[in-house]
């Protein structure tokens, strides 16, 4: 056995010893059971403690979490936890520049579009015994959580999707250390509820033009034009006048928000709604009022 191989085994043995030293006293295990892994069975608790020991992440320091969804255990950590594990491997050599992709497949080193989230993000991880960086790509539509749970994703879309790409790349680069563990950002979409099954179409339902219906998560990039402020205000007024809810609109056009509509979709909705009778009495729309409402939001 050559010296290089012996040295690698020696380093690995040292790393394993350092992780094994993260043992838990009985009272600490009881504390974790009461405060961190509250709903865990004994087997689930043992699995969680094993992963904590294996990675060297401390549950009481909130470096690793026990999460249970629909009866299934998911062990989660933050992206910082992944970085800690990678650094401890002694083989982590840094990262490539992050990149974001737009709807046309063009990649940017800095995301320039504040009103539209990137279609995807990618990043590569350097490892000392790899010749090339190992890349991972995270698509926006695969990971964005549903409306109501997506505040940070709407506020910092480039940052959130990049965290997912980094987690994927780190796990691919260090599978022995990170397999079976996921970051918070990767699992954000796990809280998404199944799509609601549409009821049979009735005459009083919101009309739909199938040709303009986008897939969920397009965020108004279809045809490259976002809905305008005036269209948003007009749609809100028409929905109220015609007796329809926002939820019906979201369901029919498969979007999370009116702001996700394209300009062309908004035009179709306005035209369809204007052709329907008002819920109570016919009334002309005062477009000066529409402009006034828009000016209040600026």
Residue identified by tokens 């936890």 is 81
- The secondary structure of residue 275, as a DSSP letter, is T
Confidence of residue 83 (pLDDT cuts 50, 70, 90): very high
Helix axes 263-274, 229-242, angle to 10 degrees: 30
Chain-wide mean pLDDT for the chain? 77
Alpha-carbon span 174 to 179, nearest angstrom: 8
- pLDDT (0 to 100) of residue 23: 77
Q: Which of 18-27, 55-64, 87-96 has the highest mean pLDDT?
A: 87-96
- The 10s digit of each residue's pLDDT in 241-283 is 877 777 777 666 666 677 777 888 888 888 888 777 766 544 4
Q: Which token pair is 196?
A: 């609601």
Give the length of the chain: 298
Residues forming beta bridges with residue 262, ordered by sequence position: 226
């Amino acid at each position: 056995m050559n010296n290089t191989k012996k040295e690698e085994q020696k380093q690995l043995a040292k790393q394993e010893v350092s992780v094994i030293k993260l043992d838990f006293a009985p009272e600490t295990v009881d504390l974790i059971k009461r405060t961190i892994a509250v709903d865990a069975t004994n087997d689930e608790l043992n699995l969680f403690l094993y992963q904590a020991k294996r990675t060297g992440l401390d549950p009481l320091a909130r470096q690793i979490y026990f999460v249970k969804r629909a009866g299934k255990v998911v062990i989660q950590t933050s992206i910082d936890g992944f970085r800690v594990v990678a650094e401890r491997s002694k083989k982590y050599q840094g990262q490539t520049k992050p990149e974001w992709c737009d709807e046309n497949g063009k990649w940017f080193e800095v995301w320039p579009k504040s009103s539209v989230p990137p279609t995807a993000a990618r990043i590569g991880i350097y490892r000392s015994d790899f010749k090339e960086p190992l890349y991972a790509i995270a698509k926006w539509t695969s990971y964005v959580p549903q409306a109501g749970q997506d505040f940070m994703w709407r506020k910092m879309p480039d940052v959130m999707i990049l965290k997912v790409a980094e987690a994927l790349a780190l796990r691919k680069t260090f599978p022995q250390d990170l397999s079976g563990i996921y970051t918070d950002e990767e699992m954000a979409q796990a809280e998404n509820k199944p799509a609601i099954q549409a009821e049979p179409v009735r005459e009083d339902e919101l009309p739909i033009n199938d040709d303009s219906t986008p897939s969920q998560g397009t965020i108004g990039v279809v045809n490259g034009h976002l809905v305008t402020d005036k269209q948003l205000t007009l749609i809100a007024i028409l929905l109220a006048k015609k007796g329809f809810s926002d939820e019906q609109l979201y369901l029919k056009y498969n979007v999370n928000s009116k702001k996700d509509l394209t300009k062309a979709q908004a035009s179709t909705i306005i035209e369809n709604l204007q052709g329907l009778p008002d819920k109570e009495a016919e009334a002309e729309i005062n477009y000066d009022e529409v402009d006034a409402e828009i000016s209040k939001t600026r």
